[in-house]
A = this chain, B = another copy of it.
Amino acid sequence: MSHPRLSKLELQIMERLWTAGASSVREIQEAFPERRRPAYTTVQTMVYRLEAKGVVRRTRKIGNAHVFEALVSRGAAERRLIDELLALVGGSGRTVVAHLVEAGNVTDEDLRAARRILQQSTKKEERS
């Protein structure tokens, strides 16, 4: 089974764990840009929920503070999000790419890189 759905705020919390590694609630909270920084207990609640969902875990303590680490990778979470998007738009990746192009969210180089990756995996499949 794939890990559960992650909400926006949950993802922002995971973000800190992915980029900076295992962190305390305080560290996660302070990683938010000052302007939109949730209250300490808000972050704490979300971390607890992530723990309940099994996507983070307590690793050790520093002082009396718990340190949490991510149990799912950024890649896996991203894949999840994209799968959900695909389900919503009817499964067509083409549509998504077209929109990205129109909105200027991908460069030509991005597309060229994508084609290279595709060619690679196609080749691998043929060999097997």
Please give, as numbers and ranges, the residues of chain B lying within 8 Å of A11 by CB-CB distance: 88
The answer to whether residues A110 and B85 also contact, given A102-B121, A117-B102 and a CB cut-off of 8 A, is: no
> Distance in Å from the Cβ of A99 to the closest Cβ of chain B?
5
State which size class the interface on A falls in: 35 or more
| B103 A108 Cβ-Cβ under 8 A | no
Given known A93-B100, A111-B97, contact A105–B86 (CB-CB < 8 A)? yes
Q: How far is the CA of A12 from the CA of B78 in the complex (A)?
A: 23
In the complex, are the beta carbons of B113 and A118 less than 8 A apart? Answer: no
The verdict on A8 contacting B88 (CB below 8 Å), with A93-B100, A97-B110 known, is yes
Query: Does A89 lie at the interface of the complex (its beta carbon under 8 Å from any beta carbon of B)?
Result: yes
